[in-house]
Structure 1
Amino acid sequence: MIRSDTGELPGSHPYVSAGTGRGSRALVVLPGIGDAMFPGEYPPFTGWGLAPYFARYLDEYTVYLLSRPRGLPAGYDADDAVESHREALEEIADEYEAVDIVGVSMGGMIGQELARRHPELIDRLVLANSGCRIDEDAHPTVRRLEGSAREHDWASIRSTLATVMFSDGRAIAYPLTVQTVGRFLQPRPAEPADVWRSLEFALGFDSRDRLEEIDRPTLVFGGGRDPVFPPPITRETAERIPDGSVTLAPSAKHAAFHERKRTFDSRARSFLER
């Protein structure tokens, strides 16, 4: 039977969890930029929707989707992110034998810093469509997203993200939807500034000179056509981490972990169980 919980953890982190109550480990998912695009409160029983997506993990894990706080400070950086996430992870770690992290895009950037600064809180780290820095060629796109955020043009942001993330029909269908009926149906950010501050965080992040300090086993999973973290950056990230490994989904883009979910789950489970 699935157990679901929602609430807020120390550091003002909204969360939703799902598990069977049998798992002795916690799998904490740190989301990407899109996390800033919704109100930040998970309705009761949200975990019932989360559970099927992570069904392959629930025999061993309770899965936590750990959002960032709403109302990020101006100049939000790695120090801010690590401090608040540390508080939340400490509370989770008190309940389980071990904590593994899956960091998606921006969440993977935060995951790198957590693993480097607080290895005592993390057993294994998975970076999903994330890396040590954003590719230079992607900076203009991120800047455009930042400009749209300052104009509160959420439909344009979601439309652009869809083309960046998907390599299939969703790259066409999603933008058409969000630019029409989706303008009235999509959730709005609780704090609009969180969106552009998250984008600024990602643009300014570069961990190349710090990756060798990560002593946690790390899997880097990316897409062969990811325009944000292309294969050279994915490989560089894994190579600079002492116990790093890399898997690429050849034709996938910035949502490879989702587009190629069977491949991702198979590789991630194998890595987490080794």
Structure 2
Amino acid sequence: MPYAAVNGIELYYRIDGDRHGNAPWLVLSNSLGSDMSMWTPQVAEWSKHFRVLRYDTRGHGHSEAPHGPYTTEQLTGDVLGLLDTLRIARAHFCGISMGGLTGIALAARHPQRIGRLVLANTAARIGSPEIWVARAARARNEGMAALAESVLPRWFTADFIAREPLVFAFIRDVFVHTDRHGYASNCEAIDAADLHAEAPVITAPALVISGTHDLAATPEQGRALAQAIPGARYFELDAAHISNVEQADTFTRTVLDFLQADPPA
């Protein structure tokens, strides 16, 4: 399995598409409690047009889960280290939820490394200390299965869960097998991240995607984020928090159209 030693840890990654070709690079960053497999609905189509680089955020999937708490600086440093290891000077970036926070910070602090930016189901500030402190403590003390019944139903609408029980079961399986300490440490990174001051300095062309039924990063927060980023576009899907799965075809097409659009005049 491909691992890269970056930022003091072993980071698991995967490349789809011709890695030695000339297509632009596209980095995909997962949400809290998931792993790179969450991008399965998009990879086949996007890898026809891009060299797609997925990675498991630290504390998730096959990546290392070092002692926390983690920070936004570490999460962005992991991406930069991976790009450097693979000799990628510049890439488009698409992140969901926690991955979106990483994208905001990357684009604001390292504009030379980011081409186009897609921020899905995220906000400049997600949640509150009341949520994240309790969530981190419960993950560490009781394990991930104890969180599944309260967290996962918020990821999708009830109609989707009823219509796609196998998809929901697969995502639940990834969630409950996430390292509990890695999950908790990422909760602490999210809790500490307030990027309201950074969004306005982003110069990359940006697309913000929200889910109409998202309770974690609401449409109101998504619209505010899009308004804060100069020239950003906003798109809303009939979905809850994991919109790339719940509205996979529309998400795939919308992002592809944005990434391939002519540059602004």
Q: Confirm or deny a common fold (TM above 0.5).
A: yes
Partners of 1:166 and 1:145 in 2: CA distance: 19
Q: CA 1:79–1:60 in 2, change beyond 3 Å: closer, same or farther?
A: same
**CA–CA distance in 2 between the matches of 1:113 and 1:82?**
7
From 155, 171, 181, the equivalent of 1:165 is: 155
Partner in structure 2 of residue 263 of structure 1: 250
Q: SS where residue 125 of structure 1 aligns?
A: strand
User: Identity over aligned residues, as a percent?
Assistant: 22
Say whether 1:83 aligns with 2:77.
yes
Q: 1:186 to 1:141 in 2, by over 3 A?
A: closer
- 1:197-243 C-alpha deviation (Å, 9 max, x unpaired): 11111122211112111111111111011101101110111110113
1:51 CA drift (Å)? 6.4
Measure, in 1, the Cα distance between the counterparts of 2:160 and 2:85: 38
* 1:115-154, Cα deviation, whole Å (9 max, x unpaired): 1111111101111111211145xx6554543232022421
CA contact (8 A) 1:165 1:171 kept: no
Q: What is the CA–CA distance in structure 2 between the aligned matches of 1:170 and 1:72, rounded to whole Å?
A: 35
- The match for 2:61 is none
1:65: which partner in 2? Answer: 54
Partner Cα separation in structure 2 for residue 106 and residue 31 of structure 1: 7
Contact 1:142-1:199 within 8 A present in 2 as well? yes
CA RMSD, 1 decimal: 3.0
Selected match of 1:129 from 91, 116, 121: 121
Distance 1:248 1:207, change over 3 A: same
SS at match of 2:51: strand
**2:139 is the counterpart of 1:149:** yes
CA distance in 1, matches of 2:57, 2:91: 18
Q: TM-score, normalised by structure 1?
A: 0.79
- Residue 226 of structure 2: aligned partner: 238
Which residue is 2:29 aligned to?
Answer: 30
Change over 3 Å in CA distance of 1:273–1:118 after alignment to 2: same
SS of structure 2 residue aligned to 1:34 = coil
1:109 is aligned to: 101
User: CA offset at residue 177 of structure 1?
Assistant: 6.2
Contact 2:107–2:203 (Cα < 8 Å) also in 1: yes
With the length of structure 2 as denominator, give the TM-score of the two structures.
0.81
1:215-272 deviations in Å (ceiling 9; x for gaps): 11111111011101101110111110113111011x3110112111111111111110
CA drift at 1:84: 2.6
Alpha-carbon separation, structure 2, partners of 1:243 and 1:81: 26
Matched AA of 2:31 = G
Contact 1:221 1:248 in 2 (8 A): yes
Does structure 2 conserve the Cα–Cα contact (< 8 Å) formed by 1:29 and 1:63? Answer: yes
Secondary structure of 2:124's partner?
A: coil
Kindly state the Cα deviation for residue 170 of structure 1 after the two structures are TM-superposed: 5.2
Q: Give the direction of change, closer, same or farther, for the CA distance of 1:52–1:106 in structure 2 (3 Å limit).
A: closer
In structure 1, list runs of 5 or more residues that go unmatched: none
